[in-house]
Structure formats: structure tokens, C-alpha cells
Amino acid sequence: MSSSVSPLAPKKFVTLPPVDGVRIATAEAGIKYKGRTDLLVMAFDEGTSVAGVLTRSKCPSAPVDFCRENLAGGKGRILVVNSGNANAFTGKKGKTATAATAKAAAAAAGCGENEVYLASTGVIGEPLDAGKFSHLLESLAADASPDRWADAGKAIMTTDTYPKYATAKVALGDVEVTINGIAKGAGMIAPDMATMLSFVATDAPIAAPVLKDLLTRGANRSFNAVTVDSDTSTSDTLLIFATGAAARRGAPSITALDDPQLVPFKRALNRLLKDLALQVVRDGEGARKEIEISVAGAKSSRSAKRIALSIANSPLVKTAVAGEDANWGRVVMAVGKAGEPAERDLLSISFGDHRVAHEGERDPSYSEEAVSEYMKGDRIRIGVELGIGQGKATVWTCDLTKEYVAINGDYRS
């Protein structure tokens, strides 16, 4: 965790209310960090359904493999997360660590190992010693309480400068349900997925297949639309747990994605996921500015997103924004290198409300003074109009500063 909080951090952190059917505990296990919590346990009521979206990295961590196997069953009773060690690229030792953790977690929750979910974040390539924390799980599960969401957000941090929280209350039928979410991530952030870890819980009674559809669609417009450094983590894990406890208060059970009663919940979940994803961007290692990149007029939405990500991941674009330089030539470069259909003489580029290039050349009304003033803000919007189709997409990133190099240069020390 960095010693200084990102200037883009929320001015005030939201307080997450209890979610019926969820209990939380954290501990200092000393896995890597001293004097701070690095272990999280979430225990869920029997009957909790679960869905997830996991990294597409071809070198996934052992916990990602473990979760992928259990997600097929759609049921969850306990989540165990450690920070400081990713348990990635650790060979047979990685599997041994997840097996030992799963066995202890299942015993602690009184459930099968197929209802256990694991996540690890931190250094890659260092064997994780499950013996440092597996013996703590029984007491943590026993002592867990519903009001410790703030502690949960802090326990999963690595190079984050602040914990990420989001919450919503929404009607499901005639009953109010709660959705809470936490996330961690600051570096190694890029689709797909682009968080390192995020966990969402609700008391709504929603079947696992519906949760999966909701989460996949929501992630595509949030966690899969942000990038800090173009590097996809080995450990990216987004899980949602639905305890169904609100059914006791009369909430309807949702078993189909097209159930009209689900519409308000779906919108609230999408907003919550986007909120968490943007908090990750604003905590990008060394970040001083949030950048929103919108591409329109592309051949297709997929093409628009690829062009937007080409701009967002360009070190030259990101360093120009860091230097408060409206160097639109670098945006032209990033559009051209994306490998997607584009017509040079139809291209328009804007910074905020200032159009700087139009129809393949500098805009006649371009004002260096006005645009330079705009670039001093901490939220920069870059707009690209291709003029060849209907495709559009928006992605978010941050600037690239000297501090990013400093943080990652001594990450393992």
C-alpha cells in the first residue's frame, strides 16, 4: 500500500450497510505485510448462489483455476482472500496451497469444498504458505459479523492507496434489497478482466445462471472497459454472491434474465460495477488524472472499443495527459495503429468540448490557450469521431507518471 493517497481518491468513503446472510472477518496473517490486515473471510448463509467472471490470462493463478471449477456448481458458503502473494506461477505448490486452504475453509463453514471460493493477490512466482493462515479460518468464520465491510476493503489491498467501496439499495418486487461491492486494483489493470479482485454481495434471491448473465454484461461495460497499463493480471476475479435472504421478507425469486422485476436491480448492479471500476482507474499507480476515451462512428462497437483501448494504452497519449499537453497527434497515431477501419480525412478529435482536429487536419477554430487550460483538470475527456459507421465505445484509463515507474521498480522489495 502506498504511503500517499491518490489525489483522485473519493473525498468521502461510503459506509456499506450489512447484507442479510453475509458475515465478514479479517486478520493479520503476516503473509507479506507487517502491521496490517492481509486475510479476508466472508461467510454466507446456506443456499447462497454465486457467479463469477475470471481473468482470460493464459497463465492464471491457482485460485482462479480453483474458482473456475467451483463456479459450475453455482453455490457458495465461504470466500477466503489473501493479499501480498498471488499464488500464481507456483506450479504444484500452488495447487497444494489452494487444496489446504479449501479444506480448512470448508471445515470452518461446515460445507463442501465445492462451495469454497479463493482469491489471492500480490507477488507472482512466490509459493504461498497456506500454513500461515489456514489455521485461522475456523475462528474467523466463527467470529465473523455483518458490519465489517470497511475492514474487508482494506484487507485485500496491495499497492492500492485507498479501499474501493460501493453500495446500492433497490426494489425487487415490493421489497428493498441491498447490493454491496468492494474492489482492489491499481496496477496490472487491463481487460479482460480489468480489476485485480472484486467481490459483490446481495440479499436478493437470484439464481446462479441469471447472476452469471448479469455479471458478464455488467463487467463488459465496467471492469472490461478500464485499463491502467495494458497488463492483464493472472489473478483477476470478480465474484457475486446472492444469499436470497430477502425472500424471507417477500422478495420474489428471480430465475429468468427477462423477468421485468429484475430491471431496477440490473441497472443498480451496472452502476455499482462501473463505480468500482472507475475507482480502480483513479487509483492507477501514480495516477494524477482520470481519462475517459469515447470513440464513435466506427465500423462496429467491437472496432470502436479496440480503437479506444489503443488510445488508452498508448504510453505517449498517457504521458502527454500527465504533462497537460493536448498532443492530439498522439491520438491520431493510436487510432492509426489499432488495425481497425479508419479514414484519415474523416477523423475528428476533441479534448473535452474543444474540437482540436477535424476532417483529417487541425480544426480551424483550435485555440492552444483554451485547450491547455482544459488539460489542467483532473478528469480529461478525449473524443474520437471516425465518420464511417455506427459503432461506439467508451473506456477509461489514467495518466502515466514517474511515480508509476517508482512503484513498480521496487514492488518486490
Q: Helix (H, G, I), strand (E, B), or coil: what is residue 30? A: coil
Q: Does 243 carry a binding-site annotation?
A: no
Whole-number Å distance between alpha carbons of 222 and 216: 10
Residue among 38, 290, 49 at smallest CA distance from 184: 38
Q: Which residues pair with 50 in a beta bridge?
A: 241
Q: Does 392 carry a binding-site annotation?
A: no
Q: Does 285 carry a binding-site annotation?
A: yes
Whole-number Å distance between alpha carbons of 356 and 364: 8
Q: Does 184 carry a binding-site annotation?
A: yes
Q: Does 55 carry a binding-site annotation?
A: no
Q: Which residues pair with 165 in a beta bridge?
A: 182
| Residue 407: partners with Cβ closer than 8 Å, 6 or more residues away | 2, 159, 187, 285, 286
Which H helix or E strand runs over 143? helix 137-143
Set 37, 101, 167, 195: catalytic member: 195
Q: Is 195 a catalytic residue?
A: yes
Residue among 80, 25, 2 at smallest CA distance from 286: 2
Joined together, the cell numbers standing for residue 203 give 440479499
Contact assessment for residue 47 and residue 253, using Cβ atoms and an 8 Å cutoff:
no
User: Which CA distances in Å does 127 have to 104, 255, 410?
Assistant: 18, 41, 20
- Pair type for strands 290-298 and 379-385: parallel
| Residue 198: partners with Cβ closer than 8 Å, 6 or more residues away | 164, 181, 182, 183, 184, 185, 223, 237, 238, 239, 273, 276
Residue 198, CB-side half-sphere exposure with 13 Å CA sphere: 38
The three-point CA angle 259-263-67 to 5° equals 80
Joined together, the cell numbers standing for residue 355 give 474540437
Contact assessment for residue 160 and residue 284, using Cβ atoms and an 8 Å cutoff:
no
Q: Does 195 carry a binding-site annotation?
A: yes
Whole-number Å distance between alpha carbons of 261 and 359: 47
Name the CA dihedral angle for 42, 45, 51, 53, rounded to a multiple of 10 degrees: 0
- φ/ψ of residue 83, rounded to 5: -115, 160
Tell me the binding residues for substrate. Answer: 158, 184, 195, 285, 408, 413
Tell me which residues are annotated as active site.
195
Tell me the binding residues. Answer: 158, 184, 195, 285, 408, 413
